Amino acid sequence: MNTTTIVIAIMVCIVYAVITLYHHYQPKMICLQCGEINRPSPEERGNIYLAIFLWICFIVPGLLYSLWSFFNKKYVCPACRSERLVPPGSPAGKRAQSTGSW
Ligand SMILES: [Zn+2]
């Protein structure tokens, strides 16, 4: 292994760590489905079986699919897994908190 490979590997690790932290430290959101106010949970898109199939059969599409899945996480309510999340300060979030209707 030469120096360039090590530098690239370290940079990839740093980018991976920064993106992981970004996914985990989202601002609190209110769920319009159940009323939960919490940080949204990152959830990967795509199908794990398709990813495994692509990895076994073709390395490059498997890698691309995994990268797409990693970078395109969706945020869901930690209580009910709904994607209907809005910031508590937004008009819809304030309306949900004041009326208690979600
Ligand atoms: Zn919810």
DSSP secondary structure, 48-81, as one string: HHHHHHHHHH-HHHHHHHHHHHHHS-EEE-TTT-
CA of 67 to the centre of ligand 1 (A): 27
Cβ count near 8 (within 10 Å): 10
pLDDT in tens, 24-64: 778 899 999 888 888 998 887 777 787 888 888 888 888 88
Q: Is the pLDDT of residue 15 over 80?
A: yes
Q: What is the pLDDT of residue 66?
A: 81
Domain count, the chain: 1
* C-alpha to C-alpha distance for 102 and 75, rounded to whole angstroms: 18
- What is the predicted pLDDT for the residue at 80? 93
In three-state secondary structure terms, 86 is: strand
With bands split at pLDDT 50, 70 and 90, how would you rate the model's confidence at 88? confident
pLDDT at 102 exceeding the cut of 70: no
CA of 86 to the centre of ligand 1 (A): 11
Domain carrying residue 71: 3-99
96 C-alpha vs ligand 1 centroid, how far in Å?
12
Q: Is 31 exposed, middle or buried (0-12, 13-18, 19+ CB in 10 A)?
A: buried
Coarse DSSP helix, strand, coil percentages of the chain, rounded to the nearest 5 percent: 55, 15, 35
pTM to 2 decimal places:
0.61
Mean pLDDT over 9-24 rounds to: 83
Residue 9: pLDDT over 70:
yes
How far is Cα 40 from Cα 48, in angstroms, rounded to an integer?
21
Q: Give 43 Cα–ligand 1 centroid separation in angstroms.
A: 14
